[in-house]
Structure 1
Amino acid sequence: MNNTYTVSIFVAAPGTPFRGGGSSAAGHVYYEIADGSTKLSYGFAPESPGVMSGPGAVSDKDAGRYVDPLYVRSLEITQNQYEKLKAFGDNPEKHGFSTQYNGATNSCIDFAWGALNHAGLHRTTPDQVEDTKFDGALKPLDNIKHIKSIRPPFPDSKLNDEVDNPLPKQTRLQRFISDADLPAQERQMLQVIRAEVDVIDRQHGRAFDAISERISVGLLAAAKGQGLQRVDHVMLGQPPADGSGQRMFAVQGALDDPAHLRASAPVGLMARTPLEQSYDTLSQLHDDAQRRALGGVEPPQQAADVSRRMG
C-alpha cells in the first residue's frame, strides 16, 4: 500500500486554551506532518515561557496541546516534502535556523516558514510569484492569508482541507496582542514601530525583548495621542544635557522634509509602563474619537502639537 503524506499548518490566536488548563498569551504557529500512520508535531518557542528572547527549543507536543486553534490548513505533499519538513524540524540548525529565540525576529513564525520553504511550500505574492524567502508576518494571525496562498502540490487531493474556528475568549491584552482590537491603521503603525525599535536595539547590542515591546506599544500610544496618522521612522533622541530622560521619536514623513511631524515620549517611562496601561490609553483614545465623531466635536488642540513639527 502506498503511503500518503500530509502537512497541517496551525495558527493559534492569543487566548487559545491549552489542554490541562491555561491559555496562549501571544498565539502560536506550528506544523504537523503525517505519513498515513504516524503524526509528528513541530513548533518553536523559548525554553523559558513568556520571555521575548533567549534560548529556544523545538516542541513535539503542540498539536496535542492547543485546543481548536483559529486556523488549520492541511495539504497532501510528496514523500520528499515530508522528509524535508521532518529533517528541518528534527535539526533546524543544520538547515540554517538559529535556535536562539527572539519574539520579533526569530520566533515560531520564522521556524514554521523556514520548514515550509525548505520543503518547497512557499507563499504566493499578489503578483502570483512564489516567494521563496518569505519568513512570515510578525503576528501569528497575520500569517493566515499567506498560508492560504501556498499552492497545493496536489490541487485535487481529498486530503487538502481548511478549518476555521472561532476566536477564543480573550483578555483585553490578548485581544490587543492579536490586534483584534486595533484598527488596521494602528496595526500597521505598530508593525513599523516594532521593526524600527528592533533595529535600534540591535544597534545598541540588544535583542528585542519584553522591554522593547513595552516601548513599542507606548510609542504607538504617544503617536496616536499626539495626532500622527502613520509612522515612517523611529529615532532615538540624544541624552539631554539637563539630565532629563532620553526620548524616542515617531516620525511621520521624510526625515529631510521640514514639514514632517513627530511624536515623542521618554524611553524610561515607556519601558516601565505595563502593556495593559498603554493599551488602555489606546482604548481611551478610541473612545474619545468616537465621542467626538458622534457629537461633531473637533479634537482638542494639544500643546504637544507645536513640538511635533520639526524645522
Structure 2
Amino acid sequence: MAKDAPYTVTVYVAAPGTPLKNGGTSAAGHMYLAVTHDGVTRSYGFAPREHGARSGPGAVTDKDVDEYQNPFYARKMEISKEQYEKIIAYSTEPGKHGFAQQYNGLSNSCIDFTWGALNHAGLHRQVKSQQDTSFEGALKPLDNKSEIQSIRAPYPDSKLNSEVHHEMPKRTLMQRLISENDVHEGVRGDPMLSQIREKVAELDAANGRTFDSTSERVSASLYVLAKENGLSRVDQVMLSERTPNATAAENIFIVQGERNDPGHLRASMPTAQAAQTPVEASLERGEQLANANQQTQQLAAQAEQTQSQEREAALRRMG
C-alpha cells in the first residue's frame, strides 16, 4: 500500500507595501495561510468584500498565495490529515465555527481568521510551557511573526518544515508608520492621528467613498491643523455646507467636543489644500510641532525648577 502524500500548512505574513500581482501594493499588510496535499495548494484569507474598506461585509479569499509577491515571512509545517481537514473545514465555512464574517480591521480581520483556522486545527501559539488555545492574534500582521514561530510543529523532525524571510518591501511613509512597532515618539506615536483617520473614514463612508490615498492626505493635513490650533483630540470631522458665497465642501472642519457645546474647539482649512498636501510633508510638519511642544514643556519645567530654587535660596538668606 502506497504511503499517503504528506500534508502541510504554510502561514504567511505580508508587510504593508508588499507588491500585488495585479498591481499596486498592500496598504496595511496581510496574514493568510495555505494547505497543500499531493501537489494541490488551497489558499485561505479574509478580507472586506469592498477593497480598501476598514469595516463591512467580509469574504474568504482563495488567491492570496498568488496575489502577494514575496511576503515578508512564511512558516511551513507538516501536519496530519486531520489537521489539514480541520483547516479546510474552518476556512470554507468559518461561520459554522463561530467566526463572524463581518470584517473589522481592529477586531475581526485577516489575523483573527488565520488564527481561528490554526486554533481549530490544534496549532496554537506557545506561551512559556503552555499552549494559548484562544489566541486571536496581534493587531498588526508583522506583530504575529514571533507568535507563529512559537507554534509547536506537529512533526518537528520533518524535512518539510521551513521558514522563509524576505526583505521588507519599499513603503510609503504611512505604510512605514503602520508596520514599525517600536516607534513611540512625535507624530508616529500620537493616537490623535489614528483618531482623525477613523473620523475621515466615517466621513468617506457617509459620502459613498472608500478610504483611499486622498483620505490619507486629508487625515495627515488635519492632524497638523489640530496641532497648530491646540486641539488635544478630534471628535468630529465635517465638511462645510453650501452658502451664498461658497460651494458645499469648500472647507473641512475638525471639532473637539460637541458642536452644541459653547466650549467646543474647532479649526478649518480648505478641503482642496487638505487633499493635495503630500502625507510626507504633513507628517514632517507634525513632527516639528510635536518636538517644539516637547521643548516648550521642558523649558517651562526648567524655568519652574529654577524659580523654585531661587525662592528656597531667598528664604534661607532671610532665615
Residue type of the alignment partner of 1:35: H
DSSP 3-state at the match of 1:44: strand
Kept after mapping to 1: 8 A contact 2:225/2:268: no
Query: Higher Cα Rg: structure 1 or 2?
Result: 2
TM-score (norm 2): 0.66
Counting aligned pairs with the same residue, the percent is: 44
Residue type of the alignment partner of 2:137: G
Deviation, structure 1 residue 240: 5.7
Verify: 1:244 aligned to 2:264, yes or no.
yes
DSSP 3-state at the match of 1:49: coil
Partner of residue 295, structure 1? none
Verify: 1:46 aligned to 2:48, yes or no.
yes
Deviation, structure 1 residue 145: 1.2
- Return closer, same or farther for 1:36/1:222 CA change in 2, 3 Å cut-off: farther
Verify: 1:154 aligned to 2:155, yes or no.
yes
Distance 1:37 1:115 in 2: 21
Deviation, structure 1 residue 301: 3.5
Partner of residue 118, structure 1? 120
Partner of residue 139, structure 2? 138
Verify: 1:169 aligned to 2:170, yes or no.
yes
Verify: 1:62 aligned to 2:82, yes or no.
no
Superposition CA RMSD, Å: 4.3
Deviation, structure 1 residue 38: 1.1
Alignment coverage as a number of residue pairs: 257
Partner of residue 73, structure 1? 75
Distance 1:141 1:221 in 2: 31
Distance 1:179 1:217 in 2: 21
- Return closer, same or farther for 1:210/1:82 CA change in 2, 3 Å cut-off: same
Distance 2:161 2:221 in 1: 39
- Return closer, same or farther for 1:221/1:129 CA change in 2, 3 Å cut-off: farther
Deviation, structure 1 residue 139: 0.8
Unmatched tracts of structure 2, length 5 or more: 203-209, 233-255, 302-319
Kept after mapping to 1: 8 A contact 2:55/2:105: yes
Deviation, structure 1 residue 241: 2.7
Partner of residue 183, structure 1? 183
- Return closer, same or farther for 1:281/1:37 CA change in 2, 3 Å cut-off: same
Deviation, structure 1 residue 177: 2.0
1:222-237 correspondence to structure 2 within 5 Å:
none
- Return closer, same or farther for 1:288/1:92 CA change in 2, 3 Å cut-off: same
Distance 2:117 2:108 in 1: 13
TM-score (norm 1): 0.68
1:1-311 correspondence to structure 2 within 5 Å:
1-125=3-127, 127-179=128-180, 183-184=183-184, 190=191, 241-242=261-262, 244-245=264-265, 282-284=283-285, 286=287, 299-301=295-297
DSSP 3-state at the match of 1:116: helix
Distance 2:280 2:47 in 1: 25
Deviation, structure 1 residue 151: 1.0
Kept after mapping to 1: 8 A contact 2:226/2:267: no
